[in-house]
Chain A
């Protein structure tokens, strides 16, 4: 069964409200877009056992598992014989197998014509398409991306970009050929990968060539080397090149970006036409001891958000974010939850003071609790995002979030 993407409504320059139907090997899952996937590390939600993940509301139906930390174990997974979803005890989720860890930087200069490097526990693993497809066969993913060389950024010149686009297309052809012959993978959805850095000519070639092949969706990468931790939108060229890329992709297939994005950045990317996002952002915040505290209600219901609105300074600095830093001594004696009114497990049980203490003493539970809260908030954001689009309130949501931006904790 082939997955289908239906657009219900278009917004702004390229934003789409849509439904992916017949997603997954069983063909029985519908996914509403824009959506975020469940970010995982080593086949598990970061810091969270399945038991704890069950206590988070609105967990996405589709989990992204990058190949890096799992590649070492593909023989075990192959012997196991029931695929990655069951191996990782994530049977309830569709599995989208990707190449790189969205939360991590990519080590440069390790890719060549024959293959791509990923990083496992034992160091670099060189993947050619034969090994890559062997691993995918052991995973039996619902979706998987084609092998790609996305190790490019704005600094890359035409020579590097040509290589990146060429290699990625060559990999795609090899992957397609092998997929055709594979009993195990023939029903999996294949995601083509778009490269081309910041150069229109290369983006166009990558997009049109990839779109001419039988792929089920597009993963757009090559703007930064993994998670560069900078706001791509701070460079106006990024929006331009992203929009340009989208114009050369067919509208009837979903577009995925694995970038680490805040809610505001997600809204911007959505407007450009991105449908599927990663949830690596809440993870990267939790790792720093940060908690997401935006109020997505229109108008905001929470007291702090209202206060921020009243006191909003006229100059909006987009590099500031919608989180609080629980490492800050100001939370030492704060017995309120991370966010008033938040229904998440963490806020229903624990205080800022306790989480500050856990961070201060480097206790594992700090990351468990922050992860649960941040996931809850981020997943909730996507609910509100879809709702806002349905109700023609996307700009309102964007403005409300912009006004809630708090000064960075230092």
Chain B
């Protein structure tokens, strides 16, 4: 794709097409080196340079424009040297649309018991050969420069959302210091857009401070991190809202690690534009298909004689081809079932986002939200946190 004229020095420009007149939801076109991405957008996670059993053609047919890769995994295997020789991850996996890579820090902390964080970086024991390794902000950016994703993330000091006190404060300030080191180390700013990450745990003061610091830097967009780690939903949405309230209107906001349908709808209302989560693809591999009313565990006997598609309104190849009953037989025995259900779940996530986007453009987003919740909770037992969160942006569920 021909390089667009990007604002400033960033490899990203966002054109807001519509804003909801009630809530903070907005629809935009985000131009990246490899794609123009319609937001709000859900980005499927292709951890190791593949989206779990799917080929890029299948993702293109689902109209997916951007997906994720994980720096921690790719940095180990196949490693940055090979990816550079292969002409970057795009070329290696034959995905010509946009990519986003995380910094690798989150995996270090979540996967590795022995990670130790110092001012220098994250010290950890390699799970492959047991040797001591150090991931610094510079190293993370270097690897991400080799991978070559359209959007790259700063290394942040991630603490579990239950942590508070001095350690949380330290992590927030360190995240800002590390951001400056990342910006300095970034060698391909016109080809890759670096996102900083708002940290601060569940402490609104720290989040506010962090956001204020980040917006002083010239960056193309912002991520909201440190959430979706099992914290109370009532705290989760408040932290999201504090962040989106402070982040500039004209730049994309990426809420990391969020992908449950209800969370997506609420957080779009709160003004987030980008999301990622392994859940839709992971749950598919366990035989669970996502539908308007929640999910279907296709391994369950109740589907043995259910000859409908997963969703009769869904346009994906899975729903046009297979019945729930056949997938029930397959889900219990064959790996092909993983691929088949993954296609549907990705289609479901993307369709949810395009429906929201359409309703925002038509300024009917509050109606969409109401319908979505009525479908998901036919007994009207809406979760309290979601009702509160939506009310905070003037959407009142009936």
Contacts and interface: CB of A to CB of B under 8 A. Distances in A.
A70 interface: yes
Residue of A46, A48, A49, A368 ringed by the most chain B CB atoms within 10 A: A49
Given A121-B333, A335-B86, A349-B94, A49 B326 contact: no
A89 B336 contact: no
A50 interface: yes
B332 interface: yes
Interface string A319-341: 00000000000001101000000
A43 interface: yes
Contact of B55 (A44, A79, A349): A349
A121 B331 CA distance: 11
Given A89-B321, A332-B78, A47 B336 contact: yes
A399 B335 CA distance: 37
A368 B304 contact: no
- Tier of interface size on chain A: 35 or more
A43 B330 contact: yes
A360 interface: yes
Contacts, number: 132
B336 A44 contact: yes
A357 B333 contact: no
Given A44-B330, A361-B73, A364-B339, A73 B304 contact: yes
Nearest to B341: A49
Contacts of A55: 57
B329 A365 contact: no
A44 B341 CA distance: 14
B377 interface: no
A350 B94 contact: yes
B329 A49 contact: no
B12 interface: no
Given A51-B321, A364-B338, A358 B50 contact: yes
B103 to A, nearest CB: 20
A76 interface: yes
Interface in B42-58: 48-50, 52-58
B37 to A, nearest CB: 23
A227 to B, nearest CB: 17
A249 to B, nearest CB: 35
B18 interface: no
A42 B77 contact: no
A332 to B, nearest CB: 7
Contact of A333 (B49, B82, B321): B82
Residue of B85, B326, B332, B339 ringed by the most chain A CB atoms within 10 A: B326
A47 B305 contact: no
Interface in B250-273: none
Contacts of A121: 332-333
Given A80-B307, A357-B77, A367-B335, A42 B321 contact: no
A41 B77 CA distance: 31
A238 interface: no
Contacts of B323: 80, 87
A312 interface: no
A80 B86 contact: no
B340 A79 contact: no
B330 A52 contact: no
A47 B334 CA distance: 7
Contacts of A76: 304-305, 325, 328-329
Contacts of B82: 332-333, 353, 357
A46 B334 CA distance: 8
B32 interface: no
Contacts of A47: 53, 335-336, 339
Interface in A345-378: 345, 349-351, 353-354, 357-358, 360-361, 363-365, 367-369
Contacts of A365: 50, 52-55
B377 to A, nearest CB: 31
B343 interface: yes
A121 B299 CA distance: 12
A349 B58 CA distance: 13
A118 B161 CA distance: 51
B330 A364 contact: no
B320 to A, nearest CB: 9
Interface string B179-197: 0000000000000000000
Contact of B334 (A41, A52, A80): A41
Contacts of B53: 47, 363-365, 368
Nearest to A358: B50
A41 B334 CA distance: 7
A69 to B, nearest CB: 5
A88 interface: yes
B110 interface: no
A45 interface: yes
B317 interface: yes
Contacts of A45: 336
Interface in B36-74: 48-50, 52-58, 73
A407 B340 CA distance: 37
B321 A354 contact: no
A42 B333 contact: yes
B93 interface: yes
B286 interface: no
Nearest to A54: B317
B368 interface: no
A49 B321 contact: yes
Contacts of B326: 43, 87-89
Interface string A46-73: 1111111001000000000000011011
Given A44-B337, A69-B333, 12 more contacts: A42-B329, A42-B333, A46-B335, A51-B318, A51-B321, A76-B325, A333-B85, A354-B49, A358-B49, A358-B50, A364-B338, A364-B339
Instruction: Name the 4 nearest CB pairs between A and B, nearest first.
Output: A364-B53, A42-B334, A51-B317, A365-B50
Interface of B: 48-50, 52-58, 73, 77-78, 82, 85-86, 92-94, 304-305, 307, 317-318, 321-323, 325-326, 328-330, 332-340, 343
13 contacts: A43-B330, A44-B336, A50-B321, A51-B58, A51-B318, A332-B78, A349-B94, A353-B78, A353-B82, A357-B77, A357-B82, A358-B50, A363-B52
